[in-house]
Amino acid sequence: MKRWIWEQESYPDFTYDLFRLERLIQEVSLEQGYLIALTQTMDSDNIAQRQLEALMSEAISTSAIEGEMLNRDSVKASIARKLGLLGIDSLKGDESTDYLIEILIDANTNYDKPLTLERLFGWHNALFPRGYRGLSKINVAEFRGEDPMEVIGGAAGKEKTYYVAPPLSILEHEMERYLQWFNTTPPSLIKSCIAHLWFVIIHPFDDGNGRIGRAITDLVLSKIEKSSVSRLYSMSSAINNDRNGYYKALEKTTGYVHKESNHLDITDWCEWFLTTLHTALIDTKKKLDYIVQKTTFWDKFREYDLNPRQTKVLNKILDMGAENFQGALSKKKYMTIADASSTTASRDITQLIEIGCIRHIEGTQGRNVRYEIVLEIK
């Protein structure tokens, strides 16, 4: 008979192979430190912009994982209202999005406050302010009901039970143990792995367990990084890009069907989690590198009187990152981006070469001549 991880005799004494995880932990810690150091070279406007983008990605992605698609403009408007940002139409937001943003900001700024049932119930109420999931009424800001909490999938008639959560009768005890552990365990990357997994194992609510579990992850990571408002990257965005891997890692860990021994070994889950976190950090490092490159580039060429067309083309390349600007810059691309004639494009390109903003790529010539932006700052 299949038994779940919470039914094991030694639960919740999770084990993991630190030797397998040590390299990943070091790599993630290195990237976290790099991002913190990089922000010290960026101005406050660029940092605020990246925080806005990361918060938007987190809100949209944590909902998308659960199959809920949020309107990007609505999310941006809700963030603008909460943070008092200017230049953004804050009237496009809606109540439910506002509340989700409140949860994320709370997790990313109030990480020194204890995690309590009252706080979790507040988050849950914010996710379901009207007490419904679609057309179904659910228990809000309280534990789920008596009905078994099962994760079921598969085609009709061939359903498969992937997981059964602990029954209501032991939920209060389960959450007491979880919160006691959470509030007395120092922040670490392993803690972020366990905090997410253990909360999902308990599955205390009718709905929203995944989103709240990911908010708890934010809480731990923000504590490690001492973030404000939002970290500069989105863990949920990276998870959303590998949803199949996310659910497979959970399934493999929460049931013992795939394990021959040591049913409390969570190494596979930690490995997937840390790899995904590392991916999120690397992606963000690239984006921040582009911002630093762009800032340094314009610091160098600010004194030159470039026309709006030239500025538009250069910003297009810098915003994408030179390595992502497929095929390099050609006169035809310049004409398209700047909405310029062939003669005007040739004149603009010649001037940019003379100034030193771009250079001819060696080996290209004639109609196939290509140019690249000059990012080496001397």
Question: Per the structure block, which two tokens stand in for 116?
Answer: 């309590």
- Which residue numbers are catalytic? 203
Binding site per annotation, positions for ATP: 207-214
Task: Give the contacts of 291 (CB within 8 A, at least 6 positions apart).
Answer: 42, 46, 50
Helix (H) or strand (E) holding 371: strand 371-373
Could you give the C-alpha distances from 350 to 312, 325, 347, in angstroms and in order?
16, 20, 5
Classify domain 5-290 at the CATH class level: mainly alpha
pLDDT bracket for residue 377 (50, 70, 90): very low
Query: What would the pLDDT profile of 111-123 be if each residue is shown by its tens digit?
Result: 999 999 999 999 9
The pLDDT tens digits for 347-364 are: 999 999 999 999 999 999
Q: How many helices (H) and strands (E) does the chain have?
A: 14, 6
User: Checking phi first, is residue 359 left (phi over 0); if not, alpha (psi -120 to 50) or beta?
Assistant: beta
* Whether the model pTM is above 0.95: no
CB 78 within 8 A of CB 98: yes
- Strands in 148-212 per DSSP E: 150-153, 160-164
**Which pLDDT score, from 0 to 100, does residue 67 have?**
87
More confident position, 378 or 107: 107
Count of Cβ atoms closer than 10 Å to residue 340 Cβ = 21
DSSP sequence for 32-90: HHHHHHHHTTS-HHHHHHHHHHHHHHHHHHHHHTTT-PPPHHHHHHHHHHHHT-SSS-G
Quickly tell me which residue has 């700052």 as its tokens: 377
Q: What is the pLDDT of residue 366?
A: 87
Residue 259: band (very low, low, confident or very high) from pLDDT cuts 50, 70, 90: low
What local confidence, expressed as pLDDT, does residue 166 receive? 95
**Contact assessment for residue 56 and residue 306, using Cβ atoms and an 8 Å cutoff:** no
Q: Which two tokens stand for residue 15?
A: 């084990």
Binding-site residue set? 207-214
Return the H-helix or E-strand segment holding 194: helix 189-202
Angstrom distances, CA of residue 87 to CA of 29, 76, 83, 84: 36, 11, 12, 10
In the chain, % of residues over pLDDT 70 = 93
Which one is predicted more confidently, 228 or 115?
Answer: 115
pLDDT at 258: 55
Boundaries of every domain in the chain: 5-290, 304-373
How many C-beta atoms lie closer than 10 Å to residue 147's C-beta? 9
∠ CA 227-229-234, rounded to 5°: 75
The pair phi, psi for residue 113, each rounded to 5°, is -80, 145
Helices (H), 302-359: 308-320, 331-338, 342-355
Q: Is the pLDDT of residue 275 over 70?
A: yes
For the domain bounded by 304-373, which CATH number is listed?
A: 1.10.10.10
Provide CB contacts within 8 A for 44, sequence distance 6+.
none
